[in-house]
Chains A and B, each alone.
Chain A
Amino acid sequence: MKKGYEVVIIGGGIMGCAAAFELAKRGVVDILIIEKGCLSSGATGRCGAGIRQQWGAELNARLAMESTHIFEHLEEYTGYSGDCGLYQGGYLLVAYTEKEWAQFQKNLEVQHRLGIDSRAVDLQEAQEIVPHLNTNGMYGATYCGKDGHANPFHCTLAYALGAQKMGAEIAAYTTATSLRASGGRITGVETDQGFVEAGIVLNCTNTKAPELAALVGEDIPVYAERHQALVTEPVAPLMDCMVMSFQRSFYVQQTPHGSFVMGIGPQEEPSHNSHSTWQYLEKNCAVICETLPVLRQLRVVRQWAGQYDLSPDRNPIIDEAKNARGFYSLCGFSGHGFMVAPRVAILLANHLTGREDSLDIRRFSAERYKTGKLLLEPSVV
């Protein structure tokens, strides 16, 4: 660690590492990434790893679509020698109520305007896509064959090593403890390894972002919600596609490794709790076995918990602190930060280096909660 850097990034998840890479690519190479654990030890490493373009809000759909295009060649893009594990087996979003089915038709319109290759399918075709699917109670589904999932650890590492090759430094097992600002600008970060000067600081700390931003007087209305997931033993390929429901609040997919990863939405108060529970384990199995009875034989090998950084309108926040210019918070991804990080990183890097971008970064400002110009997202598990 040097005495100071042009840019200090707090958080070594996909967002921090992708931002470092995109900045370095644009010639800003004097970068330090501070990570309190190891890379992807927070939300990125705990996420469901899905990549879906079937969103209801235009901005989410666009961020996800343009990020998917990067995931499709991330190894080449970053010069990574490993495998980022992208698998585009599709997403089947199932509707259980008439209201939901009507919402899906609206979502398709949004997606089609952007050129996303999604479509409505009837229950017979849904069963052809996912042969073991129990369609009882379903109205229909929408399907996009270019949705899928990737390996969050390898994607993050690909960005981190790519940034490192261009000159960025990574300080793992280093915790940011406080911020310093002077004359209305950010000047540096206090860490448990000493003070680091910084011209720009990126706050990529997921659910901890509001706490850090509050140190410079910025109010970020993001809260933490515990979500749990589990993984089974690997078996021969049973299905290509992710199955997801908003009404029953679940998602389930088979990874290229053969294991099934799944989760259900919680019904609990906001908290930073990251412990898993046996009550959840039982309920998750009950919900998924009803939809895919064939999975009853599969053994669960591991369960874990992580946090969603929920914003009021379930859309990302990219915010520069008013009293500490140069301090940017990137948070509020509401459980889908992994799949939009590549495009958000580009948007931010373009902004910081004075380049044009087809997206207006101001639309993501936390100001929208005061002005009421929300970016409402109807479709989140």
Chain B
Amino acid sequence: MSETSTMLCRCEDITLEQIQDCIAAGFRTIDEIKRVTRAGMGPCQGRTCRLLIAQELSGHYGIPMEEVLMPTFRPPVKPIPMGVLADAYQEGGHE
């Protein structure tokens, strides 16, 4: 498999080559790469690509994996239909 065909973020169709281009352009964190490529912004919210991008950053900058800055993990954990949430509001009347 070449780097142009290795799909690193499957939700947003981002390849390993695109991530490596970002790193070569000077991006230092997952957050920066996410903002420019949308990697990690799809339905799985980065569950697959987050650590793969971290691995690339770790290798390129020579820092341990645990020191790669993680992006904020945002809710909901799994995608939820708007109708389900809307009905919950009508029933519960939460403010």
B94 to A, closest residue via Cβ = A279
Complex contact A296–B42 (CB within 8 A): no
Q: How far is the CA of A192 from the CA of B43 in the complex (A)?
A: 37
Q: Which residues of A contact B4 (CB under 8 A)?
A: none
Q: Which residues of B contact A357 (CB under 8 A)?
A: none
Q: Of B51-59, B60-68, B74-82, which stretch is located at the interface?
A: B74-82
Q: Which residues of A contact B86 (CB under 8 A)?
A: 282, 285-286, 288-290, 296
Tell me whether B45 is interfacial, beta carbon within 8 Å.
yes
Tell me whether A206 is interfacial, beta carbon within 8 Å.
no
**Interface positions of A from 284 to 302, Cβ below 8 Å from B:** 284-286, 288-290, 295-302
Complex contact A281–B85 (CB within 8 A): yes
- Write the nearest CB–CB distance from A361 to chain B, whole angstroms: 31
Complex contact B85–A302 (CB within 8 A): no
Please encode chain A, from 110 to 135, with 1 for each CB lying within 8 Å of some chain B CB and 0 for all others: 00000000000000000000000000
Complex contact A285–B89 (CB within 8 A): yes
Q: Of A36-44, A48-56, A177-185, which stretch is located at the interface?
A: A36-44
- Write the nearest CB–CB distance from B41 to chain A, whole angstroms: 7
Please encode chain B, from 81 to 93, with 1 for each CB lying within 8 Å of some chain A CB and 0 for all others: 1110110111010
Complex contact A157–B36 (CB within 8 A): yes
Q: How far is the CA of A154 from the CA of B32 in the complex (A)?
A: 11
Q: Which residues of A contact B83 (CB under 8 A)?
A: 285, 289, 296-297
- Write the nearest CB–CB distance from B64 to chain A, whole angstroms: 18
Complex contact A41–B31 (CB within 8 A): yes
Q: Which residues of B contact A279 (CB under 8 A)?
A: 94-95
B38 to A, closest residue via Cβ = A257
Tell me whether A304 is interfacial, beta carbon within 8 Å.
yes
Complex contact A154–B36 (CB within 8 A): yes
Q: How far is the CA of A58 from the CA of B95 in the complex (A)?
A: 35
- Cβ-defined partner of B43 (8 Å) among A278, A288, A301: A301
Q: Which residues of A contact B74 (CB under 8 A)?
A: 276, 302-304
Tell me whether A322 is interfacial, beta carbon within 8 Å.
no
Tell me whether B29 is interfacial, beta carbon within 8 Å.
yes
Complex contact B28–A232 (CB within 8 A): no
Tell me whether A233 is interfacial, beta carbon within 8 Å.
yes
Q: How far is the CA of A276 from the CA of B80 in the complex (A)?
A: 16
Q: How far is the CA of A41 from the CA of B36 in the complex (A)?
A: 12
Complex contact A300–B95 (CB within 8 A): no
Complex contact B36–A303 (CB within 8 A): no
Complex contact B35–A299 (CB within 8 A): no
Complex contact A302–B88 (CB within 8 A): no
A173 to B, closest residue via Cβ = B28
Complex contact B45–A297 (CB within 8 A): no
B75 to A, closest residue via Cβ = A303
Complex contact A45–B75 (CB within 8 A): no
B30 to A, closest residue via Cβ = A38
B46 to A, closest residue via Cβ = A302
Q: Which residues of B contact A38 (CB under 8 A)?
A: 28-29, 31-32, 35
Tell me whether A172 is interfacial, beta carbon within 8 Å.
yes
- Write the nearest CB–CB distance from A43 to chain B, whole angstroms: 14
Whether A282 contacts B94 in the complex (CB less than 8 A), given A41-B31, A289-B83, A297-B83, comes out as yes
**Interface positions of A from 224 to 252, Cβ below 8 Å from B:** 231-233
Q: How far is the CA of A46 from the CA of B76 in the complex (A)?
A: 17
Complex contact B45–A301 (CB within 8 A): yes
Q: How far is the CA of A279 from the CA of B92 in the complex (A)?
A: 10
Please encode chain A, from 161 to 185, with 1 for each CB lying within 8 Å of some chain B CB and 0 for all others: 0000000000011000000000000
B-binding residues in A (CB < 8 A)? 37-41, 45, 82, 153-154, 157, 172-173, 231-233, 257, 267, 276, 278-279, 281-286, 288-290, 295-304
Given contact pairs A283-B89, A304-B72, enumerate 19 new A-B contacts (beta carbons under 8 Å): A38-B28, A39-B35, A45-B35, A82-B36, A153-B35, A232-B82, A267-B95, A281-B75, A281-B85, A283-B94, A285-B83, A285-B85, A288-B82, A288-B86, A289-B83, A297-B82, A300-B81, A301-B76, A302-B45
A-B residue pairs, 7 tightest by C-beta: A296-B83, A299-B79, A282-B89, A285-B85, A286-B89, A153-B35, A289-B86
Chain A to chain B contacts (Cβ below 8 Å), 29 pairs? A38-B29, A38-B31, A38-B32, A39-B32, A40-B35, A45-B35, A82-B36, A154-B36, A157-B36, A173-B28, A232-B82, A233-B42, A257-B38, A267-B95, A276-B75, A278-B75, A283-B94, A283-B95, A285-B83, A286-B85, A289-B86, A296-B81, A299-B81, A299-B82, A300-B79, A301-B45, A302-B45, A302-B74, A303-B74
